[in-house]
Structure 1
Amino acid sequence: MDIKTKEVSGILKAPAPHMVGDGFRVHNFFPGGYKIDMNPFFLMDYGSKIEFSARKEPRGVGIHPHRGFETVTIAYHGAVAHHDSSGNSGVIYPGDVQWMTAAGGILHKEYHEENYSLTGGPFQMIQLWVNLPAKNKMGTPKYQAIKQMDMAHFDLPENGGKIEIIAGNYNGIAGNAHTFTPIHLYNARLNKGGRATFNFPPGFNTGFMIVEGSVNINGTEKAEVNSFVHFKNDGEEVKIEALADSVVLILSGEPINEPIVQYGPFLMNTESEIRQAIDDYNQGRFGYLEE
């Protein structure tokens, strides 16, 4: 039986950037920039490459709460230090991934890592908000640090590059991250001329973020750096070819068919759950984190 191609819905240019704290200049592709359905991925902030000057006091985002979802931060340039109220801390360097499950409630802060801040240099990151099913929204927070050196990967033929598997699986190789619903998340690091084929169920919401270089999609569409390729829910197979040395973040996930109510850093199913989250935060029930 022939496998049907997953068609491109649109190639989206980066929306105007804004600052998150003083350390993260991001382009919000969704839900703010474009009204596209990427459920279970609720939000994608893309930090295109920028140069930060050297500074003694690290830039970043101070203490803030989350409930009802997961934050996934993927580093391409620069380094970020994380601390949270569950006692977790860590630094992600280029190629690393930080997967924080806020679940029932957590406080955290994110700053440029001290040594990076002292020297400055290029900085490029992506942060995703991954929704949780209702049954897991009030679970115990946790933290997964995934170092690039430990990441599962698949080497493409003919020196085409490699696929780093963060979550889900590719060609039978499973990623390290635990997920609550079916999600595939990869970094495709392609050499010029490198080719790769991906297969996802028709109903999965799928998108490719072009982090570096440029690629040809399905032999018909060209996508340049800093653009997001959104796909229709109509096929399974996507083929890409690198027109230059390229890095592509690949997202595909099964939608969570439940109501979503968002208020700032809370992502729940009902208005009353949002009110409870605000009350719990005000009452100090998200734990304690030192400034």
Structure 2
Amino acid sequence: MNTLRTIKSLVYAGTLDLGGMPVRQAFPSAKIGQVDPFLLLHHADLKVPSHIPVKQAGVGPHPHRGFSPVTIVYKGGVQHRDSRGNVNVVYEGGTQWMNAGMGIIHSERPPQDIFDKGGRQEIVQLWVNTPAAHKMDQPSYFPLNAEDTPTIISEDGLVKVLVHAGEHAGKRSPVPTLSPVNVISLFIQKGGRYQLEVPVEHSAFFYVLKGKLNYKGDGEIEAHYAAILNNDGSGFELEALEDAVVLLGSGTPLNEAVTSHGPFVMNNQTEIMEAFRDYKLGKMGVLIED
């Protein structure tokens, strides 16, 4: 490993109300906008309500265009349905990767067996921007189950790494991305250490879901903080001061104009208006849940 990256900004993921659900938002915030090509990071750890049918819990049908809403499951499971006819459940350790393209409607609900899985959902949703050349591609959906996710175990057994997208340590995820990105989860037991290489051209951040870390060169970082890294090195080193769970994102910046409104992310305001028009005209399809 060569020079270690330094931390540009440390951001606390405050809680906001998202349709009645408490969700932590690491970015964008008043302190940091996008981490190009990553637009948004939400972290939710929720008890599934038992007073309503499971099929009414979670997030109901809503549209997207122009980016990839990605859901990584840390506890429980998520049932995905969309207007292209895809229906699938991904459980703990898995990933739902959807390229919204020209427009799609989807829902994300707890699976019917969620109470057999502990009755909790812990997820991170990451919005990954799509290059302008592909924003109007046909939508696509790719589920990656835990058993198919490339996994690395450290020699001392204290660190487990899941490669949700991209490549790490010679392991490549089968998820099809539209630009070079790496999305990786690390589960580090207390006392464990891990060094990561990050492509020098990538923007990079990591978010601590759980525990406390020592970031070599910059000190301690607690749970629910996101560290945005400078592009001044080829990697970094983490040591777990407590059992920790960490999400790393790195990617080649698109360096394109971003205009967003609600569920649509395009390159200018005209394209946003067209997205709302097309949604109202039914061009993104229809999703009727049974």
> Structure 1 residues 153 and 120 mapped into 2: Cα distance closer, same or farther (>3 Å)?
closer
> Structure 1 residues 140 and 245 mapped into 2: Cα distance closer, same or farther (>3 Å)?
same
Distance 2:260 2:99 in 1: 17
Q: Give the equivalent residue in structure 2 for 1:121.
A: 119
Distance 2:95 2:30 in 1: 24
**Which of residues 138, 141, 146 in structure 1 aligns to 2:139?**
141
Residue 131 of structure 1, CA deviation: 0.5
Q: Give the equivalent residue in structure 2 for 1:99.
A: 97
Residue 164 of structure 1, CA deviation: 0.9
Residue 154 of structure 1, CA deviation: 1.6
Distance 2:5 2:34 in 1: 15
- Tell whether 2:56 aligns with 1:57: no
Distance 1:111 1:249 in 2: 22
Equivalent position amino acid for 2:9 in 1: G
The CA deviation string for residues 1-32 of structure 1, in whole angstroms up to 9 with x for no partner, is x822100123222213322x34x421122124
Ranges of 4+ aligned residues in structure 1 off by more than 6 Å: none
Residue 273 of structure 1, CA deviation: 1.1
1:1-291 equivalences in 2 (<5 Å): 3-19=2-18, 21-22=19-20, 24-32=21-29, 34-47=31-44, 49-58=45-54, 59-116=57-114, 121-291=119-289
Contact preservation (8 Å) 2:48, 2:110? no
Equivalent position amino acid for 2:42 in 1: D
Residue 55 of structure 1, CA deviation: 3.3
**Structure 1: any 5+ residue segments left out of the alignment?**
none
Residue 103 of structure 1, CA deviation: 0.5
Distance 1:157 1:219 in 2: 24
1:17 aligns to what SS in structure 2?
A: strand
Distance 1:85 1:251 in 2: 28
The CA deviation string for residues 233-273 of structure 1, in whole angstroms up to 9 with x for no partner, is 22222011111222111111111111111011111112111
Once structures 1 and 2 are overlaid, which stretch shifts more, 160-169 or 80-89? 160-169
**Structure 2: any 5+ residue segments left out of the alignment?**
none
Distance 2:36 2:69 in 1: 14
Once structures 1 and 2 are overlaid, which stretch shifts more, 153-162 or 246-255? 153-162
Residue 36 of structure 1, CA deviation: 3.6
Contact preservation (8 Å) 1:144, 1:177? yes
Contact preservation (8 Å) 2:215, 2:238? yes
Length-normalised TM-score, structure 2: 0.93
Contact preservation (8 Å) 2:25, 2:42? yes
Contact preservation (8 Å) 1:56, 1:118? no
Residue 158 of structure 1, CA deviation: 1.4
1:157 aligns to what SS in structure 2?
A: coil
The CA deviation string for residues 29-82 of structure 1, in whole angstroms up to 9 with x for no partner, is 2124542441111111111x3434423412122211110011100111122211
Equivalent position amino acid for 1:171 in 2: A
Equivalent position amino acid for 2:51 in 1: R
Residue 114 of structure 1, CA deviation: 2.2
2:208 aligns to what SS in structure 1?
A: strand
Distance 1:118 1:165 in 2: 27
1:123 aligns to what SS in structure 2?
A: strand
The CA deviation string for residues 87-135 of structure 1, in whole angstroms up to 9 with x for no partner, is 1111121111100111011011111222226886333110011110011
Distance 1:227 1:93 in 2: 25
Distance 1:280 1:32 in 2: 29
CA RMSD in angstroms, aligned pairs only: 1.9
Length-normalised TM-score, structure 1: 0.92
